[in-house]
Structure 1
Amino acid sequence: MSNPSTESHVSTGGRRALVVRGGWDGHHPVEATDLFLPYLKENGFDVVLSDTPESYADPETADVDLIVQCYTMGTISRDAVRGLRAAVAGGTGLVGWHGGIADSFRDAADYLQLIGGQFACHPSRHPDQRSGDQADNYLPYAVTITAPEHPVVAGLADFDLTTEQYWVLTDEYNDVLATTTHPAPPWHPWHRPVTVPAVWTRAWGRGRVVVVTPGHSLDVLENPSVRTIVERSLLWASR
Protein backbone atom coordinates (compact mmCIF):
# COMPACT_ATOMS: atom_id res chain seq x y z
CA MET A 1 0.00 0.00 0.00
CA SER A 2 1.26 3.45 -0.86
CA ASN A 3 0.52 5.41 2.32
CA PRO A 4 3.84 6.81 3.64
CA SER A 5 2.89 6.12 7.25
CA THR A 6 2.44 2.42 6.54
CA GLU A 7 5.05 -0.21 7.37
CA SER A 8 4.95 -3.69 5.83
CA HIS A 9 5.66 -6.91 7.71
CA VAL A 10 5.78 -9.89 5.39
CA SER A 11 4.83 -13.43 6.38
CA THR A 12 4.96 -16.60 4.31
CA GLY A 13 1.26 -16.60 3.49
CA GLY A 14 -0.86 -15.29 0.68
CA ARG A 15 -3.70 -13.46 2.41
CA ARG A 16 -3.29 -9.79 3.29
CA ALA A 17 -4.22 -8.09 6.55
CA LEU A 18 -4.18 -4.34 7.13
CA VAL A 19 -3.82 -3.36 10.79
CA VAL A 20 -4.84 0.25 11.47
CA ARG A 21 -3.86 1.38 14.97
CA GLY A 22 -3.63 4.68 16.78
CA GLY A 23 -5.88 7.34 18.24
CA TRP A 24 -6.14 7.63 22.02
CA ASP A 25 -3.11 6.03 23.67
CA GLY A 26 -5.08 4.79 26.69
CA HIS A 27 -6.10 1.66 24.80
CA HIS A 28 -2.47 0.83 23.95
CA PRO A 29 -3.13 0.41 20.21
CA VAL A 30 0.39 -0.74 19.31
CA GLU A 31 0.80 -3.20 22.17
CA ALA A 32 -2.76 -4.49 21.80
CA THR A 33 -2.48 -5.23 18.10
CA ASP A 34 1.00 -6.67 18.59
CA LEU A 35 -0.64 -9.43 20.64
CA PHE A 36 -2.35 -10.74 17.50
CA LEU A 37 0.33 -10.22 14.85
CA PRO A 38 1.98 -13.62 15.44
CA TYR A 39 -1.42 -15.31 15.18
CA LEU A 40 -2.12 -13.60 11.88
CA LYS A 41 1.25 -14.57 10.45
CA GLU A 42 0.91 -18.14 11.68
CA ASN A 43 -2.36 -18.31 9.79
CA GLY A 44 -0.88 -17.19 6.52
CA PHE A 45 -1.40 -13.44 6.45
CA ASP A 46 0.98 -10.85 5.04
CA VAL A 47 0.52 -8.00 7.53
CA VAL A 48 0.69 -4.29 6.79
CA LEU A 49 0.65 -1.81 9.68
CA SER A 50 -0.71 1.72 9.43
CA ASP A 51 -0.99 4.52 11.96
CA THR A 52 -3.76 6.37 10.13
CA PRO A 53 -7.31 5.54 8.99
CA GLU A 54 -6.55 7.50 5.84
CA SER A 55 -5.02 4.27 4.57
CA TYR A 56 -8.60 3.24 3.80
CA ALA A 57 -8.67 5.80 1.00
CA ASP A 58 -5.92 3.91 -0.82
CA PRO A 59 -7.49 1.96 -3.72
CA GLU A 60 -5.39 -1.08 -2.73
CA THR A 61 -7.49 -1.45 0.42
CA ALA A 62 -10.14 -3.10 -1.74
CA ASP A 63 -7.73 -6.02 -2.28
CA VAL A 64 -7.05 -6.61 1.43
CA ASP A 65 -8.59 -9.79 2.89
CA LEU A 66 -8.85 -8.51 6.49
CA ILE A 67 -8.75 -5.18 8.29
CA VAL A 68 -7.96 -5.13 12.01
CA GLN A 69 -8.72 -1.75 13.54
CA CYS A 70 -7.63 -0.44 16.93
CA TYR A 71 -8.11 3.33 16.60
CA THR A 72 -9.96 5.00 19.46
CA MET A 73 -11.74 8.31 18.82
CA GLY A 74 -9.94 10.41 16.21
CA THR A 75 -11.29 11.67 12.91
CA ILE A 76 -11.57 10.22 9.44
CA SER A 77 -12.06 11.79 6.03
CA ARG A 78 -15.03 11.09 3.79
CA ASP A 79 -12.74 9.46 1.25
CA ALA A 80 -11.36 7.09 3.88
CA VAL A 81 -14.84 6.10 5.11
CA ARG A 82 -15.93 5.59 1.53
CA GLY A 83 -12.92 3.38 0.90
CA LEU A 84 -13.51 1.33 4.05
CA ARG A 85 -17.18 0.77 3.27
CA ALA A 86 -16.39 -0.22 -0.31
CA ALA A 87 -13.66 -2.63 0.76
CA VAL A 88 -15.94 -4.41 3.25
CA ALA A 89 -18.80 -4.50 0.75
CA GLY A 90 -16.40 -6.14 -1.68
CA GLY A 91 -15.47 -8.91 0.75
CA THR A 92 -12.80 -7.51 3.08
CA GLY A 93 -13.35 -8.56 6.70
CA LEU A 94 -13.31 -5.92 9.47
CA VAL A 95 -12.55 -6.82 13.09
CA GLY A 96 -11.90 -4.73 16.18
CA TRP A 97 -12.35 -4.59 19.91
CA HIS A 98 -13.44 -2.11 22.55
CA GLY A 99 -12.93 1.58 21.78
CA GLY A 100 -10.66 0.73 18.88
CA ILE A 101 -13.74 0.02 16.76
CA ALA A 102 -16.81 0.93 18.84
CA ASP A 103 -15.57 4.38 19.86
CA SER A 104 -13.89 5.45 16.62
CA PHE A 105 -14.69 8.47 14.44
CA ARG A 106 -17.71 9.63 16.44
CA ASP A 107 -18.72 12.24 13.88
CA ALA A 108 -18.75 9.85 10.88
CA ALA A 109 -22.28 8.51 10.52
CA ASP A 110 -21.39 6.28 7.56
CA TYR A 111 -18.70 4.60 9.65
CA LEU A 112 -21.12 4.04 12.54
CA GLN A 113 -23.65 2.47 10.19
CA LEU A 114 -20.98 0.12 8.86
CA ILE A 115 -19.99 -1.26 12.25
CA GLY A 116 -23.48 -1.19 13.74
CA GLY A 117 -22.78 0.34 17.12
CA GLN A 118 -21.39 3.24 19.13
CA PHE A 119 -19.93 3.42 22.63
CA ALA A 120 -22.20 5.39 24.95
CA CYS A 121 -20.59 5.01 28.38
CA HIS A 122 -18.86 2.70 30.82
CA PRO A 123 -20.63 3.01 34.19
CA SER A 124 -18.52 3.69 37.26
CA ARG A 125 -18.15 2.43 40.79
CA HIS A 126 -19.96 3.87 43.79
CA PRO A 127 -18.76 7.46 44.39
CA ASP A 128 -17.20 6.44 47.70
CA GLN A 129 -14.99 3.92 45.87
CA ARG A 130 -13.59 6.27 43.22
CA SER A 131 -10.00 7.50 43.28
CA GLY A 132 -9.91 9.57 40.09
CA ASP A 133 -8.18 7.13 37.75
CA GLN A 134 -9.31 4.66 35.08
CA ALA A 135 -9.99 2.00 37.69
CA ASP A 136 -13.06 3.99 38.76
CA ASN A 137 -14.76 2.38 35.75
CA TYR A 138 -13.56 -1.18 36.34
CA LEU A 139 -16.58 -3.23 37.35
CA PRO A 140 -17.11 -6.97 37.71
CA TYR A 141 -19.58 -8.11 35.05
CA ALA A 142 -20.65 -11.16 33.10
CA VAL A 143 -20.52 -11.81 29.37
CA THR A 144 -23.34 -14.14 28.33
CA ILE A 145 -22.98 -16.23 25.17
CA THR A 146 -26.24 -15.98 23.23
CA ALA A 147 -25.38 -17.72 19.95
CA PRO A 148 -23.44 -20.82 21.06
CA GLU A 149 -23.66 -22.38 17.60
CA HIS A 150 -21.70 -19.55 15.94
CA PRO A 151 -18.08 -20.51 15.13
CA VAL A 152 -16.71 -17.37 16.81
CA VAL A 153 -18.06 -18.40 20.24
CA ALA A 154 -18.80 -22.13 19.84
CA GLY A 155 -17.82 -24.14 22.91
CA LEU A 156 -17.24 -21.08 25.08
CA ALA A 157 -19.06 -20.72 28.37
CA ASP A 158 -20.31 -17.47 29.85
CA PHE A 159 -17.41 -15.66 31.51
CA ASP A 160 -16.72 -12.87 33.99
CA LEU A 161 -14.47 -9.84 33.66
CA THR A 162 -13.47 -6.91 35.83
CA THR A 163 -12.85 -4.01 33.48
CA GLU A 164 -14.79 -1.34 31.61
CA GLN A 165 -18.27 -2.62 30.82
CA TYR A 166 -19.34 -1.00 27.57
CA TRP A 167 -22.85 0.34 27.13
CA VAL A 168 -23.29 0.53 23.36
CA LEU A 169 -26.00 1.93 21.12
CA THR A 170 -26.77 -0.56 18.36
CA ASP A 171 -29.39 -1.52 15.79
CA GLU A 172 -31.32 -4.64 14.84
CA TYR A 173 -29.16 -5.48 11.84
CA ASN A 174 -26.48 -6.93 14.11
CA ASP A 175 -26.22 -10.67 14.78
CA VAL A 176 -25.50 -10.70 18.50
CA LEU A 177 -23.20 -13.47 19.78
CA ALA A 178 -22.89 -12.33 23.40
CA THR A 179 -24.47 -9.77 25.70
CA THR A 180 -23.80 -8.03 28.98
CA THR A 181 -26.30 -6.51 31.41
CA HIS A 182 -25.75 -3.20 33.18
CA PRO A 183 -27.34 -3.02 36.62
CA ALA A 184 -29.23 0.02 37.85
CA PRO A 185 -27.44 1.13 41.03
CA PRO A 186 -28.88 4.14 42.82
CA TRP A 187 -25.92 6.41 42.01
CA HIS A 188 -26.68 6.25 38.27
CA PRO A 189 -29.70 7.91 36.62
CA TRP A 190 -31.20 4.90 34.80
CA HIS A 191 -33.95 2.99 36.58
CA ARG A 192 -33.74 -0.61 35.38
CA PRO A 193 -31.05 -3.01 34.12
CA VAL A 194 -30.02 -2.64 30.48
CA THR A 195 -28.79 -5.54 28.33
CA VAL A 196 -26.57 -4.63 25.37
CA PRO A 197 -24.47 -6.59 22.87
CA ALA A 198 -20.94 -7.49 23.97
CA VAL A 199 -19.96 -9.30 20.75
CA TRP A 200 -21.71 -8.99 17.41
CA THR A 201 -21.26 -9.62 13.71
CA ARG A 202 -22.65 -7.68 10.80
CA ALA A 203 -22.92 -8.56 7.12
CA TRP A 204 -22.02 -5.77 4.71
CA GLY A 205 -22.20 -6.66 1.05
CA ARG A 206 -19.86 -9.61 0.65
CA GLY A 207 -17.92 -8.67 3.79
CA ARG A 208 -18.17 -9.52 7.46
CA VAL A 209 -17.74 -7.20 10.44
CA VAL A 210 -17.04 -8.37 14.02
CA VAL A 211 -17.11 -6.08 17.06
CA VAL A 212 -15.87 -7.32 20.45
CA THR A 213 -16.50 -4.80 23.22
CA PRO A 214 -14.14 -6.16 25.92
CA GLY A 215 -10.52 -5.17 25.41
CA HIS A 216 -9.74 -2.02 27.39
CA SER A 217 -6.31 -3.24 28.46
CA LEU A 218 -3.80 -5.93 27.59
CA ASP A 219 -4.80 -8.16 30.49
CA VAL A 220 -8.40 -8.19 29.22
CA LEU A 221 -7.27 -9.11 25.72
CA GLU A 222 -5.19 -11.91 27.23
CA ASN A 223 -8.21 -13.34 29.03
CA PRO A 224 -8.60 -16.80 27.42
CA SER A 225 -12.21 -16.24 26.38
CA VAL A 226 -11.64 -12.75 25.00
CA ARG A 227 -8.51 -13.76 23.14
CA THR A 228 -10.24 -16.81 21.67
CA ILE A 229 -13.13 -14.66 20.44
CA VAL A 230 -10.80 -12.13 18.82
CA GLU A 231 -8.61 -14.75 17.19
CA ARG A 232 -11.57 -16.69 15.82
CA SER A 233 -13.07 -13.45 14.56
CA LEU A 234 -9.93 -12.68 12.57
CA LEU A 235 -10.25 -15.91 10.64
CA TRP A 236 -14.03 -15.98 10.37
CA ALA A 237 -14.29 -12.44 9.01
CA SER A 238 -11.42 -12.69 6.55
CA ARG A 239 -12.18 -13.01 2.87
Structure 2
Amino acid sequence: MKKAIILGNYTNVSYHPLKGPDKELKEILKTFETELTEDYDRFRETSLRSFDLCVSYTEDRLSDEQVAGLCSYVLNGGGLLAIHNGISVNARYEAAHLIGGRFSSHPDQKVLTYKPVGTGHAILEGIESFSMQEEPYQFDIDNLIETTVLLEYESEGRQWPAAWAHSYGLGRVVYLSPGHIADSFMDPVYRKLILQSALWAARQ
Protein backbone atom coordinates (compact mmCIF):
# COMPACT_ATOMS: atom_id res chain seq x y z
CA MET A 1 0.00 0.00 0.00
CA LYS A 2 1.28 3.47 -0.93
CA LYS A 3 1.94 5.89 1.94
CA ALA A 4 0.76 9.50 2.16
CA ILE A 5 1.47 12.24 4.69
CA ILE A 6 -1.05 15.08 5.07
CA LEU A 7 0.29 18.32 6.58
CA GLY A 8 -1.77 21.23 7.89
CA ASN A 9 -2.55 23.27 10.99
CA TYR A 10 -4.58 22.04 13.96
CA THR A 11 -3.35 24.84 16.24
CA ASN A 12 -2.37 28.47 15.61
CA VAL A 13 -4.81 28.53 12.69
CA SER A 14 -5.36 31.77 10.81
CA TYR A 15 -7.86 30.75 8.15
CA HIS A 16 -7.87 27.05 7.22
CA PRO A 17 -7.75 24.42 9.98
CA LEU A 18 -6.85 20.88 9.00
CA LYS A 19 -9.54 19.64 11.40
CA GLY A 20 -12.60 18.89 9.29
CA PRO A 21 -10.85 18.45 5.95
CA ASP A 22 -8.60 15.84 7.60
CA LYS A 23 -11.49 13.41 8.04
CA GLU A 24 -12.60 13.84 4.43
CA LEU A 25 -9.07 13.54 3.03
CA LYS A 26 -8.41 10.39 5.02
CA GLU A 27 -11.60 8.84 3.60
CA ILE A 28 -10.88 9.99 0.04
CA LEU A 29 -7.34 8.58 0.24
CA LYS A 30 -8.36 5.32 1.90
CA THR A 31 -6.33 3.36 -0.66
CA PHE A 32 -3.25 4.98 0.94
CA GLU A 33 -1.76 4.42 4.37
CA THR A 34 -2.12 7.99 5.66
CA GLU A 35 -0.50 10.03 8.42
CA LEU A 36 -1.85 13.41 9.56
CA THR A 37 0.43 15.98 11.17
CA GLU A 38 0.95 19.69 11.82
CA ASP A 39 4.71 19.23 12.32
CA TYR A 40 6.23 21.27 9.50
CA ASP A 41 9.60 19.65 10.13
CA ARG A 42 8.13 16.62 8.38
CA PHE A 43 8.84 18.59 5.19
CA ARG A 44 12.52 17.76 5.67
CA GLU A 45 13.67 15.35 2.96
CA THR A 46 14.84 12.70 5.44
CA SER A 47 11.30 12.56 6.84
CA LEU A 48 9.42 12.71 3.53
CA ARG A 49 11.42 10.07 1.71
CA SER A 50 9.43 7.20 3.27
CA PHE A 51 6.18 8.54 1.71
CA ASP A 52 4.92 8.19 -1.85
CA LEU A 53 2.75 11.30 -1.54
CA CYS A 54 2.85 14.55 0.43
CA VAL A 55 -0.46 16.42 0.72
CA SER A 56 -0.07 20.08 1.68
CA TYR A 57 -3.00 21.86 3.34
CA THR A 58 -0.65 24.24 5.14
CA GLU A 59 -0.90 27.99 5.66
CA ASP A 60 2.41 28.96 7.30
CA ARG A 61 5.70 29.92 5.68
CA LEU A 62 8.28 27.12 5.46
CA SER A 63 11.84 27.46 6.74
CA ASP A 64 14.82 27.22 4.39
CA GLU A 65 15.42 23.63 5.47
CA GLN A 66 11.77 22.66 4.96
CA VAL A 67 11.65 24.19 1.46
CA ALA A 68 14.89 22.44 0.53
CA GLY A 69 13.52 19.16 1.87
CA LEU A 70 10.26 19.42 -0.07
CA CYS A 71 11.99 20.35 -3.33
CA SER A 72 14.54 17.55 -2.93
CA TYR A 73 11.77 15.06 -2.14
CA VAL A 74 9.89 15.84 -5.36
CA LEU A 75 13.03 16.12 -7.49
CA ASN A 76 13.95 12.60 -6.41
CA GLY A 77 10.59 11.06 -7.27
CA GLY A 78 8.10 12.07 -4.57
CA GLY A 79 4.55 13.17 -5.28
CA LEU A 80 3.14 16.49 -4.07
CA LEU A 81 -0.57 17.35 -3.93
CA ALA A 82 -1.22 20.90 -2.71
CA ILE A 83 -4.84 21.78 -1.96
CA HIS A 84 -6.31 25.31 -1.65
CA ASN A 85 -4.21 27.11 0.99
CA GLY A 86 -1.57 24.38 0.64
CA ILE A 87 -0.08 26.56 -2.07
CA SER A 88 1.25 28.70 0.82
CA VAL A 89 4.46 26.67 0.62
CA ASN A 90 5.28 28.86 -2.40
CA ALA A 91 6.13 31.91 -0.26
CA ARG A 92 9.75 31.30 -1.30
CA TYR A 93 10.81 31.39 -4.97
CA GLU A 94 12.12 27.81 -4.95
CA ALA A 95 8.79 26.45 -3.74
CA ALA A 96 6.81 28.71 -6.12
CA HIS A 97 8.81 27.19 -8.98
CA LEU A 98 8.08 23.71 -7.62
CA ILE A 99 4.32 24.39 -7.35
CA GLY A 100 4.26 26.11 -10.73
CA GLY A 101 2.49 29.28 -9.64
CA ARG A 102 2.07 31.86 -6.93
CA PHE A 103 -1.13 32.92 -5.16
CA SER A 104 -1.84 36.61 -5.77
CA SER A 105 -5.26 37.34 -4.19
CA HIS A 106 -8.89 36.32 -3.97
CA PRO A 107 -12.17 38.28 -4.10
CA ASP A 108 -15.05 37.39 -1.79
CA GLN A 109 -16.47 33.88 -1.76
CA LYS A 110 -19.15 33.02 -4.29
CA VAL A 111 -20.49 30.03 -6.18
CA LEU A 112 -17.88 28.99 -8.74
CA THR A 113 -18.27 26.50 -11.56
CA TYR A 114 -15.08 24.55 -12.21
CA LYS A 115 -14.72 23.20 -15.74
CA PRO A 116 -12.17 20.58 -16.86
CA VAL A 117 -9.88 21.88 -19.61
CA GLY A 118 -6.87 19.54 -19.69
CA THR A 119 -8.47 17.10 -22.13
CA GLY A 120 -6.86 13.68 -22.13
CA HIS A 121 -5.02 13.96 -18.82
CA ALA A 122 -5.37 10.86 -16.60
CA ILE A 123 -6.40 13.02 -13.63
CA LEU A 124 -9.50 14.20 -15.50
CA GLU A 125 -10.84 10.79 -16.51
CA GLY A 126 -14.59 10.83 -15.81
CA ILE A 127 -14.47 14.37 -14.35
CA GLU A 128 -17.29 16.74 -15.29
CA SER A 129 -17.94 20.37 -14.36
CA PHE A 130 -18.95 20.99 -10.74
CA SER A 131 -20.01 24.01 -8.71
CA MET A 132 -19.50 25.02 -5.08
CA GLN A 133 -19.24 28.04 -2.79
CA GLU A 134 -15.54 28.86 -2.81
CA GLU A 135 -12.87 31.51 -2.62
CA PRO A 136 -11.91 32.50 -6.18
CA TYR A 137 -8.16 32.10 -5.78
CA GLN A 138 -6.14 33.99 -8.39
CA PHE A 139 -2.62 33.03 -9.42
CA ASP A 140 0.44 34.03 -11.36
CA ILE A 141 1.54 30.92 -13.26
CA ASP A 142 5.29 30.26 -13.55
CA ASN A 143 6.03 30.29 -17.29
CA LEU A 144 9.31 28.46 -16.68
CA ILE A 145 7.40 25.30 -15.73
CA GLU A 146 5.62 23.29 -18.43
CA THR A 147 2.38 22.59 -16.58
CA THR A 148 -1.03 21.34 -17.73
CA VAL A 149 -4.01 23.37 -16.54
CA LEU A 150 -6.77 20.94 -15.49
CA LEU A 151 -9.59 23.20 -14.28
CA GLU A 152 -10.72 26.75 -14.91
CA TYR A 153 -13.46 28.97 -13.49
CA GLU A 154 -14.90 32.29 -14.68
CA SER A 155 -14.75 35.40 -12.52
CA GLU A 156 -14.50 39.13 -13.18
CA GLY A 157 -15.01 38.55 -16.89
CA ARG A 158 -12.09 36.18 -17.44
CA GLN A 159 -11.06 32.56 -17.03
CA TRP A 160 -8.78 31.65 -14.11
CA PRO A 161 -6.75 28.46 -13.65
CA ALA A 162 -7.98 26.41 -10.69
CA ALA A 163 -5.92 23.22 -10.96
CA TRP A 164 -2.79 22.11 -12.76
CA ALA A 165 -0.27 19.26 -12.87
CA HIS A 166 3.30 18.74 -14.03
CA SER A 167 6.45 16.73 -13.56
CA TYR A 168 9.30 18.19 -11.51
CA GLY A 169 12.56 16.30 -11.77
CA LEU A 170 11.66 12.66 -11.13
CA GLY A 171 8.51 13.59 -9.20
CA ARG A 172 5.05 14.93 -9.89
CA VAL A 173 3.10 17.94 -8.61
CA VAL A 174 -0.64 18.68 -8.60
CA TYR A 175 -2.36 21.80 -7.31
CA LEU A 176 -6.14 21.95 -6.67
CA SER A 177 -7.69 25.30 -5.73
CA PRO A 178 -11.04 24.27 -4.12
CA GLY A 179 -10.94 23.40 -0.42
CA HIS A 180 -11.78 26.44 1.72
CA ILE A 181 -13.84 24.43 4.24
CA ALA A 182 -14.66 20.80 4.97
CA ASP A 183 -17.87 21.03 2.91
CA SER A 184 -15.75 21.59 -0.20
CA PHE A 185 -14.40 18.07 0.18
CA MET A 186 -17.86 16.50 0.19
CA ASP A 187 -18.69 17.14 -3.46
CA PRO A 188 -18.54 13.71 -5.17
CA VAL A 189 -16.89 15.01 -8.35
CA TYR A 190 -14.25 16.89 -6.38
CA ARG A 191 -13.59 13.84 -4.19
CA LYS A 192 -12.93 11.82 -7.33
CA LEU A 193 -10.64 14.56 -8.65
CA ILE A 194 -8.64 14.60 -5.41
CA LEU A 195 -8.20 10.83 -5.48
CA GLN A 196 -7.16 10.75 -9.13
CA SER A 197 -4.72 13.62 -8.50
CA ALA A 198 -3.19 11.72 -5.59
CA LEU A 199 -2.90 8.51 -7.60
CA TRP A 200 -1.24 10.34 -10.50
CA ALA A 201 1.19 12.21 -8.25
CA ALA A 202 2.12 8.99 -6.43
CA ARG A 203 2.39 7.05 -9.71
CA GLN A 204 -0.18 4.49 -8.57
- The alignment's TM-score, normalised by the length of structure 1, stands at 0.76
Which residue among 86, 91, 113 is the counterpart of 2:97?
113
Output aligned runs, 1:1-239, within 5 Å.
Answer: 13=1, 15-22=2-9, 24-40=13-29, 42-43=30-31, 45-72=32-59, 74-99=60-85, 101-104=86-89, 106=91, 108-123=92-107, 137-172=108-143, 173-183=146-156, 193-239=157-203
Equivalent pair of 1:138/1:165 in contact (CA under 8 Å): yes
| Secondary structure in structure 2 of the residue aligned to 1:95 | strand
Equivalent pair of 1:148/1:156 in contact (CA under 8 Å): no
1:127 matched to which residue of 2? Answer: none
Shift of 1:50: 2.2
Equivalent pair of 2:56/2:87 in contact (CA under 8 Å): no
Unaligned runs of 5+ in 1: 1-12, 124-136, 184-192
1:130 matched to which residue of 2? Answer: none
Unaligned runs of 5+ in 2: none
Shift >3 Å, 4+ stretches: none
1:129 matched to which residue of 2? Answer: none
| In structure 2, distance between residues paired with 1:118 and 1:152 | 22
Query: What is the percent sequence identity of the aligned residues?
Result: 26
| Secondary structure in structure 2 of the residue aligned to 1:103 | helix
Give me the CA root mean square deviation.
Answer: 1.8
| In structure 1, distance between residues paired with 2:63 and 2:133 | 35
- Higher Rg of the two aligned structures: 1
